[in-house]
Amino acid sequence: MKIDLAAVEESARDLYIRALKVLPPDIKDGIADLVRHETVPTAQRVLGAMMTNISVAEDQNNLLCQDTGIPIYKVLIGSGVEVDGHALKQAIRKGCERATREHPLRSSVVHPLTRKNEHSSCGIEIPAISIDFTDSPDVLRIMMIPKGSGSENNSFLKMAIPAEGIDAIKKFTIDCVLAAGGKTCPPTIVGVGIGGTSELCVALAKRASTRPLGTHCADPDGAALEQQLSAAVNQLGVGPQGLGGDSTAFAVHIELAATHITMNPVAVNMQCHSARRASATFTPAGVTYGF
């Protein structure tokens, strides 16, 4: 399957705009579920305001949040796909810039030292584009995530001591959620990366925090820990927007990697209640959009 790079550019543009306007159904269901179980009246009102905000954005074709985030694109490529990888990244970058200039969107991206904003949502290494491979031969999938700064600013890594074991992982996760408080715009998806090297551990935490609700860690021990920690963080009382309540997190998601015998890395990355994402899947039949 040969990929039309002009179509990739169009999709990269459309995905950014789409992600900012339409919340995935699993996140909407997640908020509705929290409303059903929330016992604190203030928290119920905050969750209600979030639901109203989502419907108003969708009804008026408007943004879910003023924070257009830092743009992230994840690409999956099948073995039957014929594409120039460098040109593919250029097309995605161009699409991201076009979304910002043509929609127009607020560019939330600046040079890290001069703080200059090019008003393109692009800069050095941004959009962040990662490429991986899928065992579906005739598929190219692009997922777009506008990652809000409130949640991204609360990202943490600890190289714990192996002798501290799983207790160190649990304590670090709880401490991070408490330290973040309302700054992550909770309820959040708490992504926890466990194992690997330092940079892989941080990447796993981001993969976990951006996974759809209702999905589970592929490792049974990781899945069991997800359940324990999901219950634990919702007993902290942080609540929606940090104003108190039972609904601190939709869930804790965990991703694992093997690690060194003398290492015990754990990373936490949180996704806010505006857990936006959108995807485009290219197959021989055409392009389909989803989440």
| Contacts with ligand SF4, residue ranges (CB under 6 A) | 65, 67, 69, 148-151, 185, 272-274
Rounded distance between C-alpha atoms, residue 189 and residue 258, angstroms: 23
Query: Side by side, which strands form the sheet with 128-134?
Result: 128-134, 70-78, 140-147, 278-283, 286-290
Rounded distance between C-alpha atoms, residue 287 and residue 291, angstroms: 13
Question: CB–CB of 61/71 below 8 Å?
Answer: no
Q: Tell me the residue number closest to ligand SF4, measured at CB.
A: 148
Question: CB–CB of 98/15 below 8 Å?
Answer: no
Cβ 69 to ligand SF4 shortest distance, Å: 6
Rounded distance between C-alpha atoms, residue 176 and residue 170, angstroms: 10
187 vs 196 by CB, closer to ligand SF4: 187
- Name the nearest CA neighbour of 182 among 235, 234, 241, 237: 241
Rounded distance between C-alpha atoms, residue 142 and residue 289, angstroms: 10
Task: Output the DSSP codes for 12-31.
Answer: HHHHHHHHHH---HHHHHHH
Rounded distance between C-alpha atoms, residue 55 and residue 221, angstroms: 38
